[in-house]
Amino acid sequence: MPTFEDLLKSFRQTLENELSLWLEVKQARAIDVVPASEELTGVLSDYVFRGGKRLRPALLYYSYRSCGGTGDETVLPLAMAVELLHTYLLAHDDIMDRAELRRGKPAVHLVFRHLHRSREWAGDSDHFGQSAAILLGDLAQAYSIELFASTPADDKVWPELRTAFSSMVQEVIVGQYLEMTAGYREDLGEEELLRVLRMKSGRYSVEWPMHLGAILAGAAAQQRQALCDYGSLMGEAFQLQDDLLGMFGDPERVGKPVGADLAEGKFTVLIHHALRKATPAGRELLTTALGNPDLTPEEVAQAQEVLRETGAEKRVVQMIEERMGAAQAVLSALELEPEGKRFFEGLIEFLRGREA
Amino acid sequence: MPTFEDLLKSFRQTLENELSLWLEVKQARAIDVVPASEELTGVLSDYVFRGGKRLRPALLYYSYRSCGGTGDETVLPLAMAVELLHTYLLAHDDIMDRAELRRGKPAVHLVFRHLHRSREWAGDSDHFGQSAAILLGDLAQAYSIELFASTPADDKVWPELRTAFSSMVQEVIVGQYLEMTAGYREDLGEEELLRVLRMKSGRYSVEWPMHLGAILAGAAAQQRQALCDYGSLMGEAFQLQDDLLGMFGDPERVGKPVGADLAEGKFTVLIHHALRKATPAGRELLTTALGNPDLTPEEVAQAQEVLRETGAEKRVVQMIEERMGAAQAVLSALELEPEGKRFFEGLIEFLRGREA
**Model confidence pLDDT, tens digit, residues B111-136:** 999 999 999 888 899 999 999 999 99
Closest residue on chain B to A174 (Cα): B37
For A63, B83, B201, B324, the CA distances from B241, given in Å and listed in that order, are 53, 21, 11, 11
pLDDT in tens, B267-285: 788 988 898 899 999 999 9
Q: What is the 3-state secondary structure (H, E, C) of A74-130?
A: HHHHHHHHHHHHHHHHHHHHHHHCCCCEECCEECHHHHHHHHHHHCCCCCCHHHHHH
Q: Smallest CA–CA separation between B162 and chain A, in Å?
A: 6
Amino acid at B265: G
Nearest CA in chain A to B35: A192
Which chain A residue has the Cα nearest residue B144?
A166
| Residues B62, B214 contacting (CB under 8 angstroms) | no
Which residues does B302 contact at the CB level (< 8 Å), separation at least 6? B285, B289
Closest CA to B86 of B114, B53, B130: B53
Structural domain total, chain B: 1
Q: Which of B37, B121, B196 lies at the smallest CB-CB distance from A177? A: B37
Taking contacts as CB-CB distances below 8 angstroms, the residues of chain B near A185 are 36
On chain B, the residues whose CB falls within 8 A of the CB of A166 are 142, 145-146, 149
Report whether pLDDT(A109) > 70.
yes
CA distance A329 to chain B (A): 27
Yes or no, beta carbons of B178 and A37 under 8 Å apart: yes
pLDDT tens across A206-225, in order?
999 999 999 999 999 999 99
Does residue B194 belong to the interface with chain A, where contact is any CB pair within 8 Å? Answer: no
Q: What is the DSSP letter of B318?
A: H
CATH number, position A67: 1.10.600.10
- Using CA atoms, how far apart are residues B309 and B314, in angstroms rounded to an integer? 9
- What does the alpha-carbon distance between residue A212 and residue A160 come to, in Å, rounded to a whole number? 9
ipTM of the complex: 0.88
Farthest-apart Cα atoms in chain A, separation: 63
Q: Is the predicted pLDDT of residue A2 greater than 50, yes or no?
A: yes
Give B-chain residues touching A195 at CB under 8 angstroms: 33-34
Q: What is the pLDDT of residue B356?
A: 43
For the entire predicted model, the pTM comes to: 0.90
- Helices in chain A by DSSP H: which ranges? 4-33, 38-48, 55-66, 72-96, 108-118, 125-149, 158-182, 190-197, 208-216, 221-248, 251-254, 260-263, 269-277, 280-289, 297-309, 312-332, 338-355
Question: Are B166 and A146 within 8 A, CB to CB?
Answer: yes
pLDDT in tens, A19-44: 999 999 999 988 887 777 889 999 99
Q: Check if A288 contacts B (Cβ < 8 Å).
A: no
Share of chain B above pLDDT 90, in %: 63
Parts of chain B with a pLDDT under 50:
356
Q: Which chain B residues are Cβ-neighbours of A33 within 8 angstroms?
A: 171, 174, 195, 199
| A215 vs B contacts (CB less than 8 Å) | none
CB-closest option in B130, B150, B169 to A142: B169
- Minimum distance, in Å, between the CA of residue A326 and any CA atom of chain B: 24
Q: Is the pLDDT of residue A285 over 60?
A: yes
pLDDT tens figures, A141-185: 999 999 999 999 988 999 999 999 999 999 889 888 888 887 777
Range of the domain at B142: 4-355
Instruction: Say whether pLDDT at A332 is over 60.
Output: yes
CA–CA dist B23, A111 (Å, integer): 37
